[in-house]
A and B are shown apart, each in its own frame.
Chain A
Amino acid sequence: MRRFGLFRGGGIDYAVPLQRLVRILPGERCYLLPQLPQAVAGVIVADGQLIPQLDLAKILPCSEYQNEQTAYQVLVESECGTLALPADQTCGIIAGENGAVTALAEGSAVHGVSGEFHFQERIFKILDIDCLAIGLIQESW
């Protein structure tokens, strides 16, 4: 059964496949470091480890995220290590069968977004965590 963690950040609803979800941290500060890849807003510190926080505005072009402190940091596991996503709101963990998963409309492909999850009249962008991580390494943004 496919399940998603649903979140809202920077005015955008997004979904993370549950098997990629590691942890949700409340209010960790994001620190800027020099010469980070463009898609990285900064790093957070969790249990003495640095974790890159992705910049939603670079991933989802219509996001209003402004690199301010957010209510939550959503930690997700990629093939290249743990990443953090900022979130203002958590919207629960929902089984895919309770909504509808659709492909992105033709011509609206977004790097790192594999589709959309329609749930209770909201549309959550489904993030492809490995694609985002690889893109980050390749500096494809």
Chain B
Amino acid sequence: MGNVLARKLIFRLGSVGFILDLSFVVEIREQVVDLLDSTYRDLDAGIVGALDFRHTWVPAIDPAIRFDLSSALPLSAKTALILTSPEGNWALLVDRAQEISLAGRLQPCEMPAILRVAVSDYYAQIDLLDNEPLVRFEPERFYGAAGLAS
């Protein structure tokens, strides 16, 4: 388990890079076109459909909506990161799962005070990887009791 915690998944939404603890990731599905049913939607909660994961429907959430990021990819071309949470599994739709990186390669970087208030509802921490700032993704802000309440 210690090894998993020490590794991070790097994914992209448009040009923006994000970091996710690998401990949250159950599986990565690169082909979702036949798995996604977009008739189940709750856009206020960021839910853009239901995804068939091992014969169970799990909510599929597009974080680009909440982050207000544009993407050239249609939903059907996205990659699904199946994540675990206390409320059960859910699918995070991203443009690309880029790589798994050792946590030691990341350099924590303080958010400038002048920007902190503007982004505080969405993320709190940035890490640098090869001098590129990556947003530390916090799944609980997007799914589960805390995420839905915000």
- Which residues of A are interface residues toward B (Cβ below 8 A)? 31-37, 40, 43, 45, 48-52, 78, 80-83, 133, 136-137, 139
Query: Are B69 and A81 closer than 8 Å at their CB atoms?
Result: no
User: How far in angstroms is the closest Cβ of chain A from B118?
Assistant: 5
- Which residues of B are interface residues toward A (Cβ below 8 A)? 13-16, 67-69, 107, 109-115, 117-119, 121-123, 126, 128, 131-133, 135
Known contacts A33-B119, A34-B16: A45-B114 contact under CB 8 Å: no
User: How far in angstroms is the closest Cβ of chain B from A42?
Assistant: 9
Number of cross-chain contacts by CB at 8 Å: 72
Which residues on the B side are within 8 Å of A81 (C-beta)?
Answer: 112-114
A19 CA / B13 CA spacing, docked (Å): 39
Which residues on the A side are within 8 Å of B128 (C-beta)?
Answer: 45, 48
Selected contact of B110 from candidates A32, A33, A50, A82, CB within 8 Å: A50
Which residues on the A side are within 8 Å of B112 (C-beta)?
Answer: 43, 49-52, 81-82
Query: Are A35 and B118 closer than 8 Å at their CB atoms?
Result: yes
Query: Are A32 and B16 closer than 8 Å at their CB atoms?
Result: yes
